[in-house]
Amino acid sequence: MLAFHALVLVIVPSFVWLGFWQLDRWELRSASVNLQQDNLAAEPVPVSELAAVGEDVAPGDRWRTVEASGTWDTSHEILLRNRDGSGGVGYHVLTPLVGEDGTAVLVNRGWIQRGETALDAPEPPAAPGGTVDVTGRLHFSETEENSGLRNRDDLPEGQLMMVDVDMIADGLPYPVYGGFVELTRQDPAPDPAPEPVELREVDSGMSASYAVQWWVFAVVAVAGWIFLVRRELREAREAREDGRPGEAAPAGPPGQEPSEAAAGTGGGTDR
- Among 38, 100, 44, 45, which Cα is nearest to 69's? 100
> Does residue 238 lie within any of the structural domains?
no
* Total Cβ atoms within 10 A of residue 33: 15
List CB contacts of 72: < 8 A, sequence separation 6 or more.
Answer: 95, 96, 97, 98, 127, 128, 129, 132
User: Where residue 173 falls among pLDDT bands split at 50, 70, 90?
Assistant: very high
Greatest Cα pair distance, the chain, in angstroms, is 146
User: Where residue 67 falls among pLDDT bands split at 50, 70, 90?
Assistant: very high
> Does residue 34 lie within any of the structural domains?
no
> Is pLDDT at 252 greater than 60 in this prediction?
no
Residue 88 region by backbone torsions, left for phi larger than 0, else alpha for psi between -120 and 50, else beta: left
Q: CA-to-CA distance for 168 and 180, rounded, in angstroms?
A: 11
Is there a contact between 96 and 172 (Cβ–Cβ < 8 Å)? yes
Count of the separate structural domains present in the chain: 1
List CB contacts of 151: < 8 A, sequence separation 6 or more.
Answer: 160, 161, 162, 164, 167
CA distances from 254 to 94, 213, 265 (A): 110, 71, 16
> Does residue 115 lie within any of the structural domains?
yes
Question: Taking the complete model, does pTM exceed 0.85, yes or no?
Answer: no
Q: CA-to-CA distance for 92 and 197, rounded, in angstroms?
A: 8
- Find the domain containing 60 and state its range: 45-187
Q: Mean pLDDT for the chain?
A: 83
**Cα end-to-end span (Å), the chain:** 66
List CB contacts of 209: < 8 A, sequence separation 6 or more.
Answer: none
> Does residue 86 lie within any of the structural domains?
yes
> Does residue 253 lie within any of the structural domains?
no
User: Where residue 132 falls among pLDDT bands split at 50, 70, 90?
Assistant: very high
> Does residue 192 lie within any of the structural domains?
no
Report which of residues 202 and 167 the model is more confident about.
167
* Total Cβ atoms within 10 A of residue 52: 15
SS3 content of the chain, % helix, strand, coil (to 5): 40, 25, 40
> Is pLDDT at 138 greater than 90 in this prediction?
yes
> Does residue 59 lie within any of the structural domains?
yes
Q: CA-to-CA distance for 264 and 262, rounded, in angstroms?
A: 5
